[in-house]
Amino acid sequence: MAMQNKFYYKSPIGILEIELRNDTIQRLRVVESCSNISERSGYFEEVAKQLDEYFAGKRTKFELNIYPKGTEFQKKVWAELLKISYGKTKSYQEIAEAIGNTNAQRAVGSACSKNSILLIIPCRRVISKYGKLAGFACGLDVKQKLLNIEN
């Protein structure tokens, strides 16, 4: 039987709600509040450890099991985002070209906005073709903060 649990992690960008199912991250998002921060045990202990290291600037790549739910197009975009190296950015245009759909910049932006596994799938690393920050579910200030951690 599948075990599904929600855990809460206090981060520099707010409280993260992490949904795990059988040691796989199904969802990771920022929430307004929670009743209490979760005790670190089981697979959540590993997730929290890697998040600690990331926020401390000591981890450049997550090594966690993820299962993002979305359309085939969204999954293709998210797989491409996972290839963007720590400290680097790519434009929506570059992502569209990389997945073989040159005119899909807006659709790429839409797929980024539907990313249900924030931080692990690095949509923060996608910027406009003019080098400006654009769209981010948690706000541009949080996007900038995350990019600053990586630089």
The pLDDT value given to residue 33: 85
CB–CB of 88/125 below 8 Å?
A: yes
The pLDDT value given to residue 3: 54
Closest-CA residue to 23 (of 50, 53, 46, 40): 46
The tokens for 127 are: 């910027």
- Kindly give, in sequence order, each residue whose CB lies less than 8 Å from that of residue 129, ignoring residues fewer than 6 positions away: 91, 92, 93, 94, 105
- Distance of alpha carbon 17 from the chain centroid: 12
The pLDDT value given to residue 2: 52
Catalytic positions are 123
Note down pLDDT in tens along the chain; length 151 residues. Answer: 455 589 999 999 999 999 999 999 999 999 988 878 888 889 999 999 999 999 999 999 999 999 999 999 999 999 999 999 999 999 999 999 999 999 999 999 999 999 999 999 999 999 888 777 877 777 888 888 889 888 8
* Beta carbons within 10 angstroms of residue 64's beta carbon: 19
- Kindly give, in sequence order, each residue whose CB lies less than 8 Å from that of residue 84, ignoring residues fewer than 6 positions away: 90, 122, 125, 126
DSSP β-bridge partners for residue 91: 127
Distance CA 99, CA 12 (A): 32
- Distance of alpha carbon 124 from the chain centroid: 7
